[in-house]
A and B are shown apart, each in its own frame.
Chain A
Amino acid sequence: MGLSDGVVRPGALRRTVNGLDLDVRVGWYRSLPLSSVRVFALEVDGAAVTPTFELDGATYTLDELPAFHDKWWFVQDPATLHLPVSTAKSAVRVELEIGWRIPYIVIGPETALVQRAHVDMELEVAA
């Protein structure tokens, strides 16, 4: 609902030489630091996938993201998840559970709000 809509939009999935690329957008109204990003789960056609994360020309493993509090994910720019998935299908089911720590909304001692988005979409694979 609301800001978690539009995290993955139609046309977001492309085939590459290494697998699939998935464009993902910020599930909040403003830009957030990479340190706030957490990918909880990603499945393609029911199989778990560990992606890498690319933004502004730099690529990160998911484990590296928490350290980058000085790199910003601009709210209008999609990040690209590189999925090591080999498939010849023209469409696949993508399930993504992703969250952002909202760094100015404090909900308890040393605890900030985490905004989560759950994506479950049948996406066409563009060339």
Chain B
Amino acid sequence: MIKTGSTLYAYTNEWRAGQYTLDEMIAKVAALNLGPGLEVVGFQSFKGFPHLTPDQIRNFRNALESNGLEPSCLGTNIDVALRSDRFLTEDEMVDYLAAQVKVARLLGYPVARIQIGATPGVIERIAPVAEKAGVKLGMELHAPEAATTPAIVAVRECYDRIGSEYLGFIPDFSATMTAVPRGMLDQFVRDGLPASLLPALVEIWSGDELPHVRFNRFAALAKEQGAEGPVVDQTRLAYTMFGHADPQGWREILDRVVHVHGKFYEIEDGTEPSIPYAELLGLLVEGGYDGVISSEWEGHAFATEHDVDAFALVGEHQEMCRTLLAAATSGGGQR
């Protein structure tokens, strides 16, 4: 049975504004019934992460339990450019990640999100740490990557070689979008991009070249029409944040899904206009996924807490997911 959930990342605007402490935000998620899954990004939600005090760990576990929430996934990062003088070595990357996997276990998390920064060499050495901790590692498949891009195919081969059930994937629906969100386009124009360039921006976005190639093509065209500098540079985001891989590509990794990032930007009339949720959730049901979908609103890229109530929008997203999951479940004859 697929469950809904919140990631506190969705409430980044409210968090940065200091409107809530961690305890208060957890209580708010529960009060608005935006669980039961509860995901956090370690470096966002915990001061001192990953070196947490016994009090921090106890308080967090108590807060989830007393609010009836379930730990779903802990977001980790490999800060390879932590130092100013050089990148981390592979030994340092493994140590850096191992500390986060161990704290995931202490916080009660069954899954830790890892990112493409985890090289095959790191994955090979971190797998035994994950097994010992009883924490599954899910590599986030996020735009501009997707299940079938070369970098991820290399990870799949690495997983095959290691053969551990503690290695999996976290589809992020940013990889399989059908449009650039309206709010993003509006923000580009507010920040000075001539609105007359939007049709070209979107048409070039839908092409198949690598993101930087498409951006360069758009920038060249914008320059011909007299637009350059920061107003054009900002649109690079559209080419890197939003991927348009075929949703059916998720089939390649469906049996290794350990968590899902229900990325979304806008809900209009009960649907996400830029992300094909009916098809995506249908695939998850068909593949027998039975974990959590975190409602991951990322509109904070273009909207502030004054523009959008992220809690209300997550509620609408979860309502949409419940409706589509029920339809997919009955449509597929599964119970």
Q: Within 8 Å of chain B (Cβ to Cβ): is A106? A: yes
- Complex Cα distance, B85 from A83, in Å, reads 28
Q: Within 8 Å of chain A (Cβ to Cβ): is B67? A: no
**In whole Å, how far is B9's beta carbon from the nearest beta carbon of chain A?**
7
A103 and B44 in contact (CB under 8 A), knowing A5-B304, A29-B9, A75-B16? no
Closest to B230 in A: A118
Instruction: List B contacts of A2 (CB < 8 A).
Output: 187, 300-303
- Complex Cα distance, B44 from A67, in Å, reads 22
- Complex Cα distance, B82 from A106, in Å, reads 11
Q: Is the CB of A6 within 8 A of B48?
A: no
Q: Is the CB of B87 within 8 A of A110?
A: yes
- Complex Cα distance, B9 from A66, in Å, reads 27
Contact-size category for A:
20 to 34
Contact-size category for B:
20 to 34
Interface SS of B by simple majority: loop
Closest to A6 in B: B16
Q: Within 8 Å of chain A (Cβ to Cβ): is B178? A: no
**In whole Å, how far is B311's beta carbon from the nearest beta carbon of chain A?**
17
Q: Is the CB of A35 within 8 A of B84?
A: yes
Q: Is the CB of A31 within 8 A of B43?
A: yes
Q: Is the CB of B300 within 8 A of A104?
A: no
Extra 18 A-B pairs, beta carbons < 8 Å, given A29-B9, A35-B83 = A2-B187, A29-B15, A29-B16, A30-B43, A31-B49, A33-B82, A35-B82, A36-B81, A67-B84, A75-B15, A75-B44, A76-B16, A76-B18, A77-B47, A101-B84, A103-B77, A104-B78, A106-B80
